[in-house]
């Protein structure tokens, strides 16, 4: 059960309206790596967690915090839209200053949302549940979480650089700091799981079912050999169970695919039959 309190986790109040920036801020709300994505991802990982109460509790802790971040950003967007009624855009042709301020405003903020936030990204694309990952394998999921927090912090930092509003920067400084903590949190949890389970996901699959001759071979399929100098091409493997090797221009060892003609009811293209014009030996 969730219980809402009226106080935000942290301040979310801009110094002045800026509907153009409100459109940009939508990215860290409803974008692929926005707060709605991590909120849903962590909560479903927690709800689906089996037999690991410590990790379940941690996931629900952070997932619930992300609800607070969604509320903060939605509140900030709504306040950035205050004092920017849609009819002001009609004056843009006569007033260059208004055009400069409102020319990039998302019209849906006024027409659809009544000067409020929306669960969309900065281009207006609706938030999609396919952004989220909850596989049931905690090590795989926590690596996805680390990526999400890394991308989210990167976007928040870029947005910080795109404004001089002290109120917006104050809120972003808080969110950026929390993204740092969350990256550290996932790295700590990943390290803990790797010590118990190993580095490769899943760890329960039998090596007898893998082609061991290619399990630790880096294959260079592009021009140049700079990649041979990487850690991934030499020395012991990261899981400690093999040795990396490097192959330049690896051979193709598979068959040449030849598909049988489709049955008549498929109504595909008929097979090519050579004629004497194509092959004089016929």
Which residue positions form the known binding site?
35, 57, 61, 66, 69, 149, 182, 220, 222, 224
Instruction: Select from 130, 122, 2, 137 the least CA-distant residue to 60.
Output: 2
Residue among 80, 82, 81, 69 at smallest CA distance from 8: 69
What are the tokens at 180? 């740092």
**Known binding site for Ca(2+): residues?**
57, 61, 220, 222, 224
Known binding residues for Mn(2+) are 35, 66, 69, 149, 182
Reduce the DSSP state of residue 131 to 3 states and report it. helix
Query: For the chain, what is the radius of gyration of the CA atoms?
Result: 27
Asked if 59 and 43 count as a contact pair (C-beta separation under 8 A), the reply is: yes
Alpha-carbon separation of residue 48 from 2, 149, 201, 203, 236 (angstroms): 17, 20, 18, 20, 35
């Amino acid at each position: 059960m969730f219980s809402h309190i009226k106080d935000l986790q942290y301040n979310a109040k801009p110094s002045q309206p800026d509907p153009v920036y409100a459109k940009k801020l939508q990215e860290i709300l409803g974008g692929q790596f926005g707060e709605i994505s991590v909120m849903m991802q962590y909560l479903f990982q927690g709800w689906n967690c089996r037999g690991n109460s410590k990790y379940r509790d941690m996931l629900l802790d952070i997932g619930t915090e992300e609800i607070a971040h969604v509320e903060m950003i939605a509140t900030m967007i709504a306040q950035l839209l205050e004092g920017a009624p849609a009819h002001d855009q009609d004056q843009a042709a006569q007033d260059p200053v208004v055009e400069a301020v409102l020319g990039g405003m998302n019209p849906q903020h006024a027409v659809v949302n009544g000067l409020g936030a929306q669960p969309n990204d900065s281009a207006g694309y609706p938030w999609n549940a396919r952004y989220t990952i909850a596989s049931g394998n905690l090590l795989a999921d926590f690596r996805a979480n680390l990526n999400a927090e890394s991308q989210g912090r990167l976007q928040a930092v870029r947005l910080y650089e795109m404004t001089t509003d002290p109120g917006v920067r104050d809120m972003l400084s808080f969110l950026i700091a929390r993204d740092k903590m969350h990256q550290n949190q996932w790295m700590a949890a990943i390290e803990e799981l790797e010590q118990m389970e190993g580095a490769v996901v899943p760890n329960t699959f039998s090596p007898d079912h893998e082609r061991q001759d290619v399990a630790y071979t880096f294959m260079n399929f592009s021009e140049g050999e700079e990649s041979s100098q990487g850690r991934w091409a030499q020395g012991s493997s990261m899981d400690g169970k093999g040795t990396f090797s490097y192959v330049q221009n690896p051979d193709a060892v598979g068959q040449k695919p030849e598909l049988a003609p489709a049955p008549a009811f498929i109504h595909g293209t008929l097979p090519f039959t050579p004629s004497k014009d194509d092959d004089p030996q016929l």
